[in-house]
Amino acid sequence: MKKLHRRSFLKGGLAGGAAIAAVGTSKHAEAAGSFGGYPDSMGVLVDLTKCVGCRTCEAACNKEQGLPAPDKSFDDPSVFEEKREGGLPRRTTEKAYTVVQKYDVPGREHPLFRKVQCNHCNEPACLTSCFVNAYKKTPEGAVMYDPTVCVGCRTCMIACPFYIPAYSYSSAINPVVKKCIMCYDTRLKFGKPPACVEACPQEVMTFGKRKDLLKLAHQRISEKPEAYVDHVYGENEVGGTAWMYLSDVPFDKIGYDTHLGDQPIISYVKEFLAIVPMVLTIWPALFTGFHLLSNRKDALKNEDNKS
């Protein structure tokens, strides 16, 4: 009796091992399974060397998205000195989907200005972290959010590696997540650039197909190697983003996280998530089967013994 049990246990162990091995091999195939972004999606290349900090982009965003009036005029440079908790510069809020930050870089003649908004990742962490599928990546490149299905868990705000989604805490009745949608509804859908891009007097931002922008970015660096650091931020970060950046100052000096890695955030949990359905569906059936099998043999044996 005991021997039979051990054998069935070993058989089960073997089958389980094979199943785990099968999951293990998927690790190597992971790159092929990665989404990598829509082929013809649009993007924006931001050349930080050109920004003069006029905040016209902020004004354009406010108008296009119908956001509430700002606390200070959009031509008021005092906002650059505002600091939030931890001495950090201002961030995106429910009332401002884009903000310009100022960095005084030692050795640089003029301050560097940096526009912050949703980077519209190829494989967004907000999207993959959302358990009600409130997020959508459109083929045009925008990461959209549907407030009608959102349950307000705010996991997306924690998942976002760029700290972009904001929450309308001011609304007691129906608080929702607020963030840049690349002007999808009013412009991107119709092939037009986002309002900030069009409003910028300095043409800091170049709008186009992401793959074309990458070529342009590297062309700019190779033509003026002394004017840029040899890094297109967003080309590979977290699996690539629709918004990408060129700078003359190393990115880690101006508030960019350069330790995010090149894998989409989902990759770090993909293997675990692949096991979940197996554990939940295959294991109960499998082990019930083993149990019944051994029980049946035991029952047969008992009957044999009886007869």
Partner 1 sequence: MGGRKKTLMGMAALMLLTAPAGAQSWAADGPGTVELGSLANHYSAVTFDHAMHVGVAANCAECHHHTTGLAPTDPNCVRCHEAGAQARSVACKDCHSDKRFSAEDLEKTGGNPQLYHKGKPGLKGAYHQKCLGCHTTMGGPTGCQDCHTRNDQGDAFFHSGKYAPAPKASGGHGGGH
What are the residues binding partner 1 (CB under 8 A)?
A: 50, 52, 54, 56, 59-60, 62-63, 69-76, 110, 191-193, 197-198, 200-203, 206-209, 212, 215-216, 219-220, 223-224
Instruction: CB nearer to partner 1: give 218 or 297.
Output: 218
Instruction: CB nearer to partner 1: give 75 or 303.
Output: 75
∠ Cα 117 121 127 (to 5°): 100
Cβ at position 216, least distance to partner 1 in Å: 5
Instruction: CB nearer to partner 1: give 212 or 257.
Output: 212
Cβ at position 203, least distance to partner 1 in Å: 3
Instruction: CB nearer to partner 1: give 211 or 301.
Output: 211
Cβ at position 277, least distance to partner 1 in Å: 41
Instruction: CB nearer to partner 1: give 13 or 225.
Output: 225
Cβ at position 112, least distance to partner 1 in Å: 14
Instruction: CB nearer to partner 1: give 150 or 213.
Output: 213
Q: How many CB atoms lie within 10 A of CB 7?
A: 12
Question: Using CA atoms, how far apart are residues 193 and 107, in angstroms rounded to an integer?
Answer: 35
Hey, what are 183's tokens? 């002007």
In eight-state DSSP terms, residue 96 is: B
Instruction: CB nearer to partner 1: give 74 or 243.
Output: 74
What kind and span of H or E run contains 60? helix 56-64
Cβ at position 248, least distance to partner 1 in Å: 14
Hey, what are 11's tokens? 């058989």
Cβ at position 212, least distance to partner 1 in Å: 4
Task: Dihedral sign for Cα 85, 116, 129, 259, please.
Answer: negative
Question: Using CA atoms, how far apart are residues 151 and 115, in angstroms rounded to an integer?
Answer: 30
Query: What beta strand segments (E) does 57-201 contain?
Result: 83-84, 88-89, 99-103, 112-116, 135-137, 143-145, 166-167, 177-178
Contacts 24+ apart (CB under 8 A), 284-291: 286/12, 286/15, 286/16, 287/12, 290/8, 290/11, 290/12
Cβ at position 69, least distance to partner 1 in Å: 5
